């Protein structure tokens, strides 16, 4: 009808068209009704059509690292690219910014990570990494952790351990799952040291049982993110690196969420002594998510191997000129603004202090973890001491109340109980960050009351039953 060509739409028209024609990813389309319509964003805030202002508490999907205001230098770089060569297919020509971005990344990345490809999403980057590892080694199996997410396309979905994301689509083959030495719910031993030792011993046993000659790579998130910021015990990542060396297996680090300053380093693996993966993938923060762009970085031996061999991985939009111009300018902005130092010296100390305060204040906040601007707390039921809800369940009534309170307090972000992620944009100021924690504290206060107030629980509106993330 005519209305689809109208220049302005009312909120009701947007909602109607969304309900009739749009489809969602991690929930059914009916969830559209419970989503705010966001029409403006600035700095660390987003605004909905009612004028409500939300502090972006998880940088959208831990990706809008540089906030919601695109710096002039980035806009100019993108406009210039659009005016010069808005699109060139990578197999037909080569734009200068592709070489510039690759060279800048080679300069910044540690060790001999010297070759770079530029797909469009984190999923594609991981798909590409899996393919490169298989081609390079001539082997097939890829080891991944249960508590992991590697992407929504089929091979990365096969690599993904988090069953909530797999939707019964395990058609990609060749993935073997291993346990994280995660000391938070399931313990391998009484101390982190023991847990790490046990997990590595078990992994070695698995490698031997599967046959090292069949294993192409061990692929891990350096710090599993959506599983709950599971910072590995000291020695675990180092142990994986040395098992990979011993059994001639490649190590792949998925830095899609942790890359580009989220943890206070360029890449999360830089927190672990001497660990340099053979292949590293990243996305999200590379362009601050203002353009879809990801990267796959490989060490010199792989770069050499593929120098006169096709990788066979590609898509029309890989190495998109405007996205790369955005990535190059965003990276320079991140360096100019010394954002890694800001994360290390301003954000991390406040986050650790505030998270610890919440752990001591509420008996149902069991523990918290934080590295850089990457934090998470775990909720338990104060009566049973068990996690507040099981993974993959629809939101419990208490969690619906918490979600509502979270939004009422003007916070927005993804919520994956029993975890509450805290991952604001890296540009957040001290005042904004403290304010965010005050809001979170007030929302947790509401949750505390709800644990005690059964009557209130019964009044929960069924519209709030929807889990949108």
Other beta carbons within 10 angstroms of residue 171's beta carbon come to: 9
User: Residue 391: CA atoms inside 13 Å, Cβ hemisphere, count?
Assistant: 13
Instruction: Please state the closest distance from residue 292 (CB atom) to ligand PLP, in A.
Output: 8
Size of the site for ligand PLP (CB under 6 A): 16
Of 65-73, 218-226, 319-327, 390-398: span binding ligand PLP (CB under 6 A): 218-226
Burial class (CB in 10 A: 0-12, 13-18, 19+), 77: buried
Q: CA 396, CA 402: separation in Å to the nearest integer? A: 10
Instruction: Please state the closest distance from residue 224 (CB atom) to ligand PLP, in A.
Output: 7
Nearer to ligand PLP, 252 or 405 (CB): 252
| Interface mask toward ligand PLP for 33-62; x: CB under 6 A | ----------------------------x-
Nearer to ligand PLP, 123 or 263 (CB): 123
| Interface mask toward ligand PLP for 60-99; x: CB under 6 A | -x--------------------------------------
Sign of the four-CA dihedral 208, 212, 213, 217: positive
- Output the six-digit token pair for 248: 């001639």
Q: Rule CB under 6 A: is residue 257 a binding residue for ligand PLP? A: yes
Instruction: Please state the closest distance from residue 163 (CB atom) to ligand PLP, in A.
Output: 16
Angle, nearest 10°, between helix axes 430-452 and 397-408? 150
Quick one: which of 116, 149, 362, 437 contacts ligand PLP (CB under 6 A)? 149
Q: Rule CB under 6 A: is residue 226 a binding residue for ligand PLP? A: yes
Instruction: Please state the closest distance from residue 343 (CB atom) to ligand PLP, in A.
Output: 18
Q: CA 265, CA 271: separation in Å to the nearest integer? A: 8
Nearer to ligand PLP, 256 or 368 (CB): 256
Q: CA 80, CA 78: separation in Å to the nearest integer? A: 5
Q: Rule CB under 6 A: is residue 162 a binding residue for ligand PLP? A: no
Nearer to ligand PLP, 90 or 151 (CB): 151
Reduced to 3 states (helix: H, G, I; strand: E, B; else coil), residue 113 is strand
Q: Rule CB under 6 A: is residue 225 a binding residue for ligand PLP? A: yes
> Which secondary structure element, helix H or strand E, spans residue 280, and what is its range?
strand 279-282
Pairing between β-strand 295-299 and β-strand 113-117 as defined by DSSP bridges = antiparallel
Tell me, what DSSP letter sits at residue 378?
A: E
Instruction: Please state the closest distance from residue 93 (CB atom) to ligand PLP, in A.
Output: 26
Q: CA 292, CA 461: separation in Å to the nearest integer? A: 37
| Interface mask toward ligand PLP for 359-398; x: CB under 6 A | ----------------------------------------
Asked if 29 contacts 458 with a C-beta cutoff of 8 angstroms, the reply is: no
**DSSP β-bridge partners for residue 252:** 219, 279
Tell me, what DSSP letter sits at residue 329?
A: H
Instruction: Please state the closest distance from residue 27 (CB atom) to ligand PLP, in A.
Output: 16
Nearer to ligand PLP, 330 or 396 (CB): 330
User: Dmax over Cα atoms in the chain, in whole Å?
Assistant: 70
Instruction: Please state the closest distance from residue 301 (CB atom) to ligand PLP, in A.
Output: 24
Of 20-28, 47-55, 221-229, 347-355: span binding ligand PLP (CB under 6 A): 221-229
Q: Which residue, among 306, 313, 318, 320, has the nearest Cα to 278 in the 3D structure? A: 306
- Output the six-digit token pair for 250: 């490649």
Residues of this chain, 258-317, that bind ligand PLP according to CB under 6 A? 283
Of 118-126, 345-353, 406-414, 433-441: span binding ligand PLP (CB under 6 A): 118-126
Quick one: which of 253, 256, 325, 347 contacts ligand PLP (CB under 6 A)? 256
Nearer to ligand PLP, 283 or 325 (CB): 283
CA distances from residue 402 to 57, 378, 411, 445 in whole angstroms, order as listed: 15, 13, 11, 9
Quick one: which of 141, 150, 320, 369 contacts ligand PLP (CB under 6 A)? 150
Q: Rule CB under 6 A: is residue 139 a binding residue for ligand PLP? A: no
Q: CA 45, CA 300: separation in Å to the nearest integer? A: 41
Instruction: Please state the closest distance from residue 249 (CB atom) to ligand PLP, in A.
Output: 20
Q: Rule CB under 6 A: is residue 228 a binding residue for ligand PLP? A: no
Instruction: Please state the closest distance from residue 28 (CB atom) to ligand PLP, in A.
Output: 19
Asked if 104 contacts 331 with a C-beta cutoff of 8 angstroms, the reply is: yes
Q: Rule CB under 6 A: is residue 121 a binding residue for ligand PLP? A: yes
Asked if 11 contacts 49 with a C-beta cutoff of 8 angstroms, the reply is: yes
Residue ranges binding ligand PLP (CB under 6 A): 61, 121-123, 126, 149-152, 221, 225-226, 254, 256-257, 283
């Amino acid at each position: 009808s005519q209305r689809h060509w109208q220049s302005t739409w009312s909120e009701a028209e947007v909602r109607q068209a969304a309900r009739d024609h749009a489809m969602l990813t991690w929930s059914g389309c009916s969830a559209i009704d419970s989503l705010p319509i966001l029409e403006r964003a600035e700095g660390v805030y987003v605004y909905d059509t009612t004028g409500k202002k939300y502090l972006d508490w998880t940088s959208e999907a831990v990706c809008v690292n540089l906030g919601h205001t695109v710096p002039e230098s980035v806009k100019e770089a993108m406009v210039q690219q659009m005016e010069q060569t808005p699109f060139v297919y990578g197999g037909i020509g080569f734009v200068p910014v592709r070489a510039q971005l690759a060279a800048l990344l080679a300069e910044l990345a540690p060790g001999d990570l010297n070759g770079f490809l530029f797909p469009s999403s984190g999923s594609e980057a991981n798909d590409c990494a899996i393919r490169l590892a298989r081609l390079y080694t001539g082997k097939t199996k890829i080891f991944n952790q249960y508590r992991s997410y590697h992407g929504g396309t089929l091979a990365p979905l096969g690599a993904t351990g988090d069953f909530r994301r797999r939707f019964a689509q395990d058609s990609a083959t060749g993935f073997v799952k291993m346990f994280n030495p995660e000391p938070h719910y399931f313990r391998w031993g009484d101390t982190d040291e023991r847990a790490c030792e046990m997990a590595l011993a078990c992994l070695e046993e698995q490698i031997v049982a599967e046959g090292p000659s069949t294993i192409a790579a061990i692929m891990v998130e350096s710090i599993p993110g959506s599983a709950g910021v599971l910072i590995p015990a000291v020695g675990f990542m180092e142990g994986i690196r040395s098992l990979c060396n011993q059994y001639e297996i490649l190590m792949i680090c998925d830095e899609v969420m942790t890359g580009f300053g989220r943890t206070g380093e360029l890449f999360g693996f830089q927190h672990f002594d001497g660990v340099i993966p053979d292949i590293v993938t990243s996305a999200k923060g590379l362009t601050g998510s203002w353009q879809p762009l990801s990267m796959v970085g490989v060490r010199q031996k792989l770069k050499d191997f593929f120098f006169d061999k096709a990788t066979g991985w590609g898509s029309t939009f890989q190495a998109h000129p405007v996205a790369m111009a955005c990535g190059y300018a965003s990276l320079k902005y991140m360096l100019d603004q010394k954002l890694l130092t800001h994360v290390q010296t301003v954000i991390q100390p406040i986050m650790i202090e505030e998270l610890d305060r919440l752990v001591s204040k509420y008996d149902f906040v069991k523990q918290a973890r934080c590295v850089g601007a990457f934090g998470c707390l775990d909720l338990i039921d104060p009566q049973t001491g068990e996690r507040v809800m099981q993974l993959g369940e629809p939101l419990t009534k208490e969690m619906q109340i918490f979600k509502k309170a979270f939004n009422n307090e003007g916070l927005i972000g993804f919520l994956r109980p029993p975890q509450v992620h805290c991952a604001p944009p890296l540009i957040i100021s001290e005042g904004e960050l403290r304010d965010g924690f005050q809001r979170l504290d007030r929302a947790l206060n509401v949750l505390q009351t709800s644990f005690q107030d059964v009557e209130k629980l019964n009044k929960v509106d069924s519209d709030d039953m929807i889990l949108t993330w």
